[in-house]
Amino acid sequence: MDSAQETRVTMEEITALAKRRGFIFQSSEIYGGLNGFWDFGPLGAPLKRNVKNAWWRDTVELRGDVVAFDSSIVMHPQVWKASGHIDVFHDVMVDCKVCKHRFRLDHLKNRAQCPDCGSKDSFTEPRNFNLMMKTFVGPMEDTSAVAYLRPETAQGIFVNFKNVYQTARKKPPFGIAQIGKSFRNEITPGNFIFRVREFEQAELEYFVPDDGNDMQVFHEWVERRKGWYSNYGIKPERLRFYELTDAERPHYAKAGIDVEYLFPWGWGELESIAHRTTYDLDAHMKLSGKDLQYFDEANKTKYTPLLIESSAGMDRTTLTFLIDAYDRETSVDPNGKNIERVVLRFHPQIAPVQAAVFSLARNRDDLVERARNVESGLRPHFRTQYDEGNIGQLYRRQDEIGTPFCITVDHQTLEDAAVTVRERDSMRQDRVQADQLETYLRERL
Ligand code: GAP
């Protein structure tokens, strides 16, 4: 076992913390929950939003060559015919004839024994199971009204390729990016929010001319994504970029790299980066009969661009940030006593709360008012929270939700206008003039 795995948090600890502190709840919990669906609470919603914003910032806003997009979840069923999802987007499943539980064949360690009830040779013959979720559009519930919830956001971009390049006046190489919900009727959802039935994807579709530079662009995107994970503090020893072999890649893909993280149960895919050739645009042109080629006005030529895709699951990435940030440490307090604390060492841009402001006493109106004023003064600049009470408990709570700075207004503040600022990781404490707080935090966040 490598060192990265030895000190790992368990999934039980992560799910308990996520529930206790209001990150993630089971969907429809009061009715017993619904397998594969989760709700993000008052801390989980900002955590996931920060992860998405960090992706968006790096993939769209900081580049001059990527435009934004937001397509509908339900699209014309022909989209899924052309993309191949109707015909080949399935997993192979088996049922146990005794306990009636259903399994993905490739997830079974032993195909001769049911892992749930232990029955021997109780599985049905393997069958294909399509993963798309079906619905009906309009008042009729017949086959002509069948539609699907998208299993990936990418197809919305492909079918709009011409609309986008013409209106945004873009010429390959350029990209189209979107973040949105996708749905897959997974046979066996599990590992908390890792494999779910409703999730969010952040997808970049980058179109390049067939001029011999396509593999270089593919590797540039791999490097950019590596840089992103590293900038936001994901431990490099828990991240790997796995190059798919010829046999593992879909037939149309020229290259493929999976970004994988070492979760407590082992390596799991976070993102796939693929060179998808002209496959998607070709497929839609063939079925729709519409021209989706790029027309180059300058030299009056037409061509189908090649496509480099980066597709990351935002729920899995959020889970990765939670797990990667988790730390349990023992330290010695000023009285020589051992204290244990759980701390989420989030990157400041990812942390749901960046600065918590406390009044040392709940029953002193002057302190409470001063602390509330400090908090409201910082609120336009940072993600803040106000709290009051026992300082030890307040620190423990903020450590557990990953808040980088805690600011305490105490009796001394009323005399010298200074507050105590405590840094999460080092637990170092500084005395800072209240009117200097914004600058102090800005330099450190
Ligand atoms: N457009 C390409 C595409 O969808 P994918 O490898 O099927 O590729 C991309 O999915 C990413 O979406 C995965 O790496 C994963 O992070 C996320 N994802 C896929 N299925 C998921 C599920 N059931 N639950 C959570 N995330 C999922």
5: pLDDT strictly greater than 50:
no
User: Does 250 or 313 have the greater pLDDT score?
Assistant: 313
Give the pLDDT confidence of 294-350 residue by residue, as tens digits.
Answer: 999 999 999 999 999 999 999 999 999 999 999 999 877 778 888 889 999 999 999
Task: Determine the average pLDDT of the residues in 38-67.
Answer: 98
Specify the pLDDT at position 408.
Answer: 97
Q: How large is the average pLDDT for residues 50-60?
A: 98
Q: Categorize the per-residue pLDDT at 243 as very low, low, confident or very high, splitting at 50, 70 and 90.
A: very high
**Helices within 24-120 (DSSP H only):** 44-56, 77-83, 85-88
**Does ligand 1 lie within 6 Å of residue 195's CB atom?**
yes
DSSP code, position 136: E
184 pocket-lining for ligand 1 (C-beta < 6 Å):
yes
pLDDT of residue 77: 97
Evaluate if residue 1 carries a pLDDT over 70. no
Q: What is the Cα–Cα distance from 179 to 197, expressed in whole angstroms?
A: 16
Chain mean pLDDT for the chain: 95
Percent with pLDDT over 70 in the chain: 98
Closest CA to 311 of 175, 163, 212: 175
Q: DSSP class of residue 59?
A: I
Closest C-alpha residue for ligand 1 atom 21:
195
Q: 303: exposed, middle or buried (C-beta count within 10 Å: 0-12, 13-18, 19+)?
A: middle
Q: What does DSSP say about strands 90-95 and 355-359: parallel, antiparallel, or unpaired?
A: unpaired
Percent of the chain with pLDDT over 90: 91
- Residue 7: pLDDT band (50, 70, 90) is low
Q: Indicate whether 2 pLDDT > 60.
A: no
Give the distance (Å) from ligand 1 centre to CA of residue 86. Answer: 17
* Nearby residues of 93 by Cβ (< 8 Å), 6 or more positions away: 102, 103, 104, 105, 126, 127, 128, 129, 187
Is 394 within 8 Å of 358 (Cβ atoms)?
A: yes
Look at 148-152, 187-191, 278-282, 327-331 and tell me which has the smallest mean pLDDT.
327-331
Q: What average pLDDT does the segment 156-169 reach?
A: 97
Residue 4 confidence class, pLDDT cut points 50, 70, 90: very low
CB of 318 within 6 A of ligand 1: the answer is no
Q: Kindly report the pTM of this predicted structure.
A: 0.94
DSSP state of 236: G
